[in-house]
A and B are shown apart, each in its own frame.
Chain A
Amino acid sequence: MKETILLIALTLFMVAIAILLYRVIVGPSMPDRAIALDTIGVNLISAIAIVSIMLKTKAFLEAILILGILAFIGTIAFSKYIERGVIVERKGDS
């Protein structure tokens, strides 16, 4: 019974990621795609927590932290690129 409910929750997260993939592909502007990719990263964090409960292991809990950090840095890089056109600014530029 518990396994079934966890499987349903995992399926709902995958449905949410599939819906967000539509926004990544279709999205009319670049910030739409960046927002959808950020939300996909956040949903993957929850999916990893559920997988780690279902497999009865604690080894995946580090992956939660790593994925959170990577999703945040990716979003920052995307928004800087959209706003300025460069990601790493130097003093001699512009």
Chain B
Amino acid sequence: MSVKEILEWVAILLILLGSIVSVISALGLIRLPDVYTRSHAASKSSTLAVFLSLLGAFIYFWFHDGYVSIRLILGIIFVFITSPVAGHLICRAAYRSRVPLAEGSGSDELKPALYGGDSVIINTDESLNKESYPQ
């Protein structure tokens, strides 16, 4: 096998890895309990998936056709800039429109800062609180 062929195989395996990460991210969006934890699955791991597959496409076009594609690099940079911004904006909109937190969350410290009142301890199970926050 020549170097060119080996690098094409590396590119194709990167694309396959990206698609597997994408399916894992979609499963996270199904399985996690509320919108805040779901945004964790949606923004981080799907950004990794699109990074891996676009990098694979870039390496494939580079060594198969000898074509260095600026557009693919711009696509990678653009997704890396915009995906955290979009995740942050949706989480902010969800909290301000009062989407409830999942059961089993810890304490909510943003609520007294925004709406007044005491900090709400959502998890009332004493043993679980002691385990997660040792004094």
Contact = CB atoms under 8 A, between A and B. Distances in A.
Nearest to B69: A61
A22 B30 contact: yes
Interface residues of B, number: 53
- Interface of chain B, main secondary structure: helix
B50 A42 contact: yes
Contacts of B39: 35
A32 B35 CA distance: 6
A14 to B, nearest CB: 9
A13 B19 CA distance: 6
Contacts of A69: 78
Interface of B: 8-9, 12-13, 15-16, 18-20, 22-23, 25-27, 29-30, 35, 38-39, 42, 46-47, 49-50, 53-54, 56-57, 60-61, 65, 67, 69, 71-72, 74-75, 78-79, 82-83, 85-87, 89-94, 96-97, 99
